[in-house]
Amino acid sequence: MNNKKVLALGLSALMLGSVLAGCGKSDSKPEAKAEAPKYTFRLAETHPADYPTTLGDKKFADLVAERSNGRIKINVFHSAQLGEEKSVIEQVQMGSIEFTRVSSSPLAEFNKAFGVFSLPYIFDSEAHEWKFLESDYAKQMLTNLEKSKFIGLAYYDSGSRSFYTKNKVTGPADLKGMKIRVQQNKINMDLIQALGASATPMPYGEVFSGLQTGVIDGAENNAPSYLTANHFQAVKYYVLDAHQRVPEVLMASKATWDKLSAEDRKLIQQAATDSIKFQREAWNKFDKEALDKLKTQGVTVTEVKDVKPWQAAVKPVIDKYNADFKTELEAIAKARN
Ligand code: GTR
């Protein structure tokens, strides 16, 4: 904890340093004279500095700084410097961290509707997913986060999640008996159970050692996470079953929001919306690069030509939660057309 604090302080000093250095440049238009920050906020991010979500966060922070003329400063703390996702979400809820970018999956434990994204095979494609994420329904889901003391600002892309394991998996039956790490929510546990494997929920930062020591036999994620968290160094089989598409969420603490003027809220919301395009482009580029890199690093990538056996195996999960997510699933089906 102390080490993290020292690291965080060092990083803020560094960031401050670069802002001051920036001020020295003589490209100043008269109206661009930066004001001293009135607000300095922290944004918690679990991924490393060059990961596509972090790039999105930074774009968002840059737009806010630029448009507020330096008055609102958001420092991005990447690489889980402020803690693992579940604890970060709790701190954002309490108002001790002002902003974060998290996965919908752990968020579902705080706001039930977001659990819909943990259901398997609800989207046909990236296009279908984004048609839904841009719909009024999905926007309303962000707005409804307010009841849980969050202000939902934007969805970011996270591609699709697939299994990576110690032994080769080609079909769902191969997962039987394996211990698989899942993101911390109930639906994920049911999903693993439906596949005859045993689910081990654990924070992201513990997965690497879990895989190395054999506490778990595998996990599941998109290619960028499998690569950048170094999980591929511990387990080398990746089967592209794409069981989930779990969007990322950029959000603020309601406690922070309540202190801001209407104009500042508008500015921050617009910056978040405007950062989406940049994040999605960064995502698509890195998603492909990551898969290529995994292959060159000795990972055996197994394509799934027929997804039907996978869909059939996890159908009990849909059956179990169909009624709970009736309206969400209807809105998702509507976005298919
Ligand atoms: C990643 C996601 C992270 C984290 C991680 C996990 O895809 O971007 O925020 O939730 O998965 O599996 O814990």
Mean pLDDT score of the chain, rounded to an integer? 93
More confident residue, 24 or 233: 233
How crowded is residue 2: how many other Cβ atoms within 10 Å of its Cβ? 6
Positive or negative CA dihedral for 288, 294, 295, 300? negative
| Residue to mutate, 105, 180, 220, ligand 1, most ligand atoms under 8 Å from C-beta | 105
Query: How much is the pLDDT for 13?
Result: 44
With 80 as the cut, is the pLDDT of residue 18 above it? no
Length reported for the chain: 337
User: What average pLDDT score do residues 297-317 get?
Assistant: 98
Query: How much is the pLDDT for 31?
Result: 56
Q: Looking at ligand 1, which atom is closest to the CA of residue 204?
A: 13
Chain Cα centroid distance, residue 256: 21
Q: What percent of the chain has pLDDT over 90?
A: 89
With 90 as the cut, is the pLDDT of residue 271 above it? yes
Q: Looking at ligand 1, which atom is closest to the CA of residue 102?
A: 9
pLDDT tens-digit map of 78-110? 999 999 999 999 999 999 999 999 999 999 999
Q: What region does 38 belong to: left with phi over 0, alpha with psi -120 to 50, or beta? A: alpha
The tally of CA atoms less than 13 A away on the side-chain side of residue 25 is 9
For atom 10 of ligand 1, which residue has the closest CA?
A: 103
| Residue to mutate, 104, 163, 204, ligand 1, most ligand atoms under 8 Å from C-beta | 204
User: What average pLDDT score do residues 214-237 get?
Assistant: 98
User: What average pLDDT score do residues 282-306 get?
Assistant: 98
Pocket of ligand 1 (CB under 6 A): 46, 53, 85, 102-103, 105, 158, 183, 204, 221-222, 225, 248
Q: How confident is the model at residue 32 (pLDDT cuts 50, 70, 90)?
A: low
pLDDT tens-digit map of 113-139? 999 999 999 999 999 999 999 999 999
With 90 as the cut, is the pLDDT of residue 5 above it? no
Look at residue 111 and give its three-state secondary structure: coil
pLDDT tens-digit map of 318-331? 999 999 999 999 99
pLDDT tens-digit map of 48-70? 999 999 999 999 999 999 999 99
pTM (2 decimals)?
Answer: 0.91
DSSP 8-class letter at 4? H
Closest CA to 114 of 160, 163, 150, 78: 150
Query: How much is the pLDDT for 179?
Result: 98
For atom 1 of ligand 1, which residue has the closest CA?
A: 225
With 90 as the cut, is the pLDDT of residue 145 above it? yes
Query: How much is the pLDDT for 23?
Result: 41
Q: What percent of the chain has pLDDT over 70?
A: 91
Query: How much is the pLDDT for 60?
Result: 99
Residues of the chain with CATH 3.40.190.170: 39-158+246-294, 161-245+299-336
Query: How much is the pLDDT for 174?
Result: 98
Q: How confident is the model at residue 281 (pLDDT cuts 50, 70, 90)?
A: very high
Query: How much is the pLDDT for 70?
Result: 97
Q: Confirm or reject CATH 3.90.1150.10 for domain 39-158+246-294, answering yes or no.
A: no
Q: Which alpha helices (DSSP H) does 229-261 contain, by range?
A: 254-257
Query: How much is the pLDDT for 34?
Result: 79
What is 164-207 written as a DSSP string? EESS--SSGGGGTT-EEEE-SSHHHHHHHHHTT-EEEE--GGGH
Contacts of 296 (CB under 8 A, 6+ apart): none
Q: What is the CATH number of domain 161-245+299-336?
A: 3.40.190.170
